[in-house]
Structure 1
């Protein structure tokens, strides 16, 4: 199973840094007996491996060679590949840069590298055979992509950073069969690649008869792409509850 990590963004909300935002130290981990800082993107890599990914593709911009240097070709449990997005073009453009790696018969999962969320094995709750979103409850859904579902969990609409968000459940990661990934790419091309966000593309796909589900298996979610989010993540990882960390 593939995991795709879009990491080509410039990270303007938390810059200036001397390195890519995906390598921002958040918390720590033990390497043998030695404790070392942990890059924020390591949390997503770990969660993808726990969810079943054995191959991970980072989509990077031309200047983000430090991500390649940091990870190399493999971590325990997964081989790495790197795809270049030559210029900023939005999330859809970044993800579909990796389309040639994805076989139609192989599932693919996608997450954001500047987030920290729990439980860390939540991706395993998503089915392999249809487009499915891992959902998390948040207090300010207007800052994210809110997912509106029916009583059976079917996705009715994704509201992209809407001030009138009708749900406080947002997507934090998603998974789909490789065939659906290619269908979404074909739809994106038919729509003249106008969709910057995955939410608007999925809305169009649903209107054409596509099916997606939302799985409310997430408990806490932090966007580390801002200074406030960074502080929240540090408090959460230091042992505070999510409500304490979000204050």
Structure 2
């Protein structure tokens, strides 16, 4: 049975999308496919970040913070208060531009007592019930962090996950050039214990090295440090799942192509 603790979605949207710039909008609002409008069954463009919010909503996550950098005002203009997805959305401003953990830490005062569901707004994945299964795993095990793992053939673009013979997480390897590992993590659920750990990790890094901390920090770096410090971690393995990051021109083209093929087959989904 799941905990009654508040579940809050956390979505970092502070990136500059430099690999696919220039764009006419924030990357998170780039249309990938179509959605059906209730009542008249009409179709409207479906932006890429709609997919992650939709999957959160399928897991009964009704509240989420989207963390922005200055200038990305089109995101709150588009989503507003969240009525489009039957969610309650709020927006926070990022502070330091040195990696996603710094961006996520902006939400610390608002989520420190909540169960957090992390999602990236430029990544599309299957299955649809991924958050349901990850939340159920957390409730079952009481782990401080549970990762959703997906197969990938692009390890140099992902945090690759090393598993032991019992499919328990042994280590994370950040964007390795050469590896035999086949699974990456794309979603996560964590408790206040890991929220505190990340907050202290980021705060300590800033205080101990006023220059060195400006090197980009990845969430995987913090998770790996947490593993080494015996934070309780578990995972859900989506062996038949898939994931796609639209952050490069090649992957954006693939997402558009895959969705077009599914549209032609009468399938609303993607990936």
**How big is the shift at 1:121?**
1.2
> What are structure 2's unaligned runs of at least 5 residues?
1-6, 208-212
Query: SS of the residue aligned with 1:187?
Result: helix
* CA distance in structure 2 between the partners assigned to 1:71 and 1:148 by the alignment: 37
Could you tell me which of 236, 247, 252 is aligned with 1:215? 236
* CA distance in structure 2 between the partners assigned to 1:86 and 1:184 by the alignment: 15
* CA distance in structure 2 between the partners assigned to 1:16 and 1:186 by the alignment: 36
Partners of 1:148 and 1:166 within 8 A in 2? no
1:232 matched residue in structure 2: 254
1:31-53 CA distances to partner (integer Å, 9 max, x unpaired)?
A: 13321111100001001111231
Could you tell me which of 93, 98, 120 is aligned with 1:84? 93
Could you tell me which of 74, 78, 87 is aligned with 1:70? 78
1:50 matched residue in structure 2: 58
1:139-165 CA distances to partner (integer Å, 9 max, x unpaired)?
A: 121211101122333221111111133
Partners of 1:154 and 1:211 within 8 A in 2? no
**How big is the shift at 1:125?**
1.0
**How big is the shift at 1:87?**
4.8
Q: Which moved more, 1:1-10 or 1:185-194?
A: 185-194
Query: SS of the residue aligned with 1:16?
Result: coil
1:10 matched residue in structure 2: 16
* CA distance in structure 1 between the partners assigned to 2:244 and 2:133 by the alignment: 20
* CA distance in structure 2 between the partners assigned to 1:103 and 1:13 by the alignment: 33
With normalisation by structure 1, the TM-score equals 0.91
* CA distance in structure 1 between the partners assigned to 2:50 and 2:251 by the alignment: 17
**How big is the shift at 1:166?**
4.2
Listed as ranges, the matches of 1:1-247 within 5 Å are 1-32=7-38, 33=40, 34-75=42-83, 76-104=85-113, 106-126=114-134, 127-128=137-138, 129-130=142-143, 131-192=145-206, 194=213, 196-217=217-238, 219-239=241-261
Larger Rg: 2
* CA distance in structure 2 between the partners assigned to 1:72 and 1:213 by the alignment: 34
Partners of 1:149 and 1:214 within 8 A in 2? no
Q: Which moved more, 1:75-84 or 1:21-30?
A: 75-84
Moved over 4 A (4+): none
Query: SS of the residue aligned with 1:184?
Result: helix
> How many residues of Structure 1 are paired with residues of Structure 2 in the alignment?
242
* CA distance in structure 2 between the partners assigned to 1:86 and 1:208 by the alignment: 27
Query: SS of the residue aligned with 1:192?
Result: helix
**How big is the shift at 1:226?**
1.5
* CA distance in structure 1 between the partners assigned to 2:195 and 2:11 by the alignment: 14
Q: Aligned-residue CA RMSD in angstroms?
A: 2.1
> What are structure 1's unaligned runs of at least 5 residues?
none
* CA distance in structure 2 between the partners assigned to 1:203 and 1:165 by the alignment: 17
